Amino acid sequence: MRPSELGSFDWSLFLAVLFTCGVSLLTLFSATFQNPDLSGLVVRQAFWIGVGLLALLVMLSIDYHTLAGFTPLLYSASLLALGYLLFFGRSIAGTRGWLELGPMNMQPSEFVKIVLIMTVGTYIAATGGHKLGWRPLATLMVLGGVPLALILKQPDVGTAATLVPVLLVAVFVAGIQVRVLVILALILALALPIAWVTYFKDYQKERILTFVDPERDPQGAGYQVRQSKIAIGSGGLTGQGLFKGTQSKLQFLPAQQTDFIFAVVAEELGFAGAGMLVGLYLFMTLRCLAAARLARDKLGRYLALGFGTAFGCQSLVNLGMMVGLVPIVGIPLPLMSYGGSSMVATLMGFGLVLNVNMRRYVN
């Protein structure tokens, strides 16, 4: 890296990422220190943060144009990994999406997000300045649809849902023709009832029906969001105090170390702490979009835009789950929820954004 590149490094985004990782460790400790079954999670999370920061530095140190040259290889490897999981993957919580690596488990679909962002960005950058017609749009749908279908087959609706906004925002910004957009909207409207009858499983339908009517099954499908609302509401303005949350300490709050970790923050730090965390996520998302706006070429623009979209939408959906604004789909809160694959992949994505931003003045 040249001194001219380091001079335009986005320290505010980098420090915000580090601060959020620190909050993650503190919240994980609070959520797990009284539960012997969850002992050691904080140490493992700290290890994955270290691995993720090393991955961030690797993504940062290599010019993103050089990284884009490896996209075909990475995309092929992603499809092979997803295909392998369908037959030999380890099943956790009903999803066959985990690869066993000795004592550790890796979720390849988290890294596929980064690969898909690079794939979409590289392809659109190569199409020139013309609006997307049927042929390039069909190519993009195939490039995104194949990994999406493999992830849905696991089945992992939550991870697949985070890939869709990346494709939609990319084609919208690239300048999709209006008539193509209208036709796609009609096809989607017709496909939803068919998917409800043929694809959605009973427990997925129950989650959606419970979202529409929260009192439909308060002790079953509606239990998680009900306990989350209680935890968030009990925090009040300033919270019950760090390490003193009743819902989390008495084990009423499910998945408090993963998908529902935000409810722990809201319960213990109240509206003040939860609002600060939401503001932090908004800041990081806006910095990613600012990097896209300032990028010196189309490739950099779509790389930063793609990750900013994925990060922002995943965060928004997870926060919406906490208060019952969206159905429970099993999406972790990036940088906060426990999980090695998610942490490393997210930090890699931030490395990509910092890469684009740092080289915006290079000729």
In this predicted model, what pLDDT tens digit does every residue of 295-328 receive, in sequence order?
989 999 999 999 999 999 999 999 998 888 888 8
Q: What is the maximum alpha-carbon separation in the chain?
A: 60
- Which residues, 6+ apart, have CB-to-CB distance to 155 below 8 Å? 94, 95, 201
- Residues 248 and 262: beta-carbon distance below 8 Å: no
Nearest to 304 by CA among 293, 315, 314, 313: 293
Q: Which of the 8 DSSP states describes residue 36?
A: G
Q: Residue 96's beta-bridge partner residues?
A: 91
User: Tokens 């409800």 correspond to what residue?
Assistant: 196
List the chain domain ranges: 3-358
Write the pLDDT tens digit of every residue in 132-154: 777 888 888 899 989 998 998 88
Query: Which among 324, 295, 325, 296 is positioned nearest to 307, based on CA atoms?
Result: 295
Averaged pLDDT score across all residues of the chain:
86
Question: What proportion of the chain, given as a percentage, has pLDDT over 90?
Answer: 48
- Helices and strands (H and E) in the chain: how many: 15, 3
Pairing relationship of beta strands 104-106 and 90-92 according to DSSP bridges: unpaired
What pLDDT does residue 1 have? 61
End-to-end CA distance of the chain: 14
Query: CB–CB of 14/354 below 8 Å?
Result: yes
* Antiparallel, parallel or unpaired: β 95-101 and 104-106: antiparallel
Give residue for tokens 């600012």.
290
User: Given this model, what pLDDT does residue 147 score?
Assistant: 92
Q: Identify which of 95-104, 240-249, 271-280 has the greatest average pLDDT.
A: 271-280
pLDDT classification of 88: cutoffs 50, 70, 90: confident
- The answer on pLDDT for 363 being more than 60 is no
The mean per-residue pLDDT over the stretch 161-177 comes to 84
pLDDT class of 205 with cuts at 50, 70, 90: low
Please tell me which residue, 57 or 92, carries the higher pLDDT value. 57
pLDDT at 339 over 60: yes
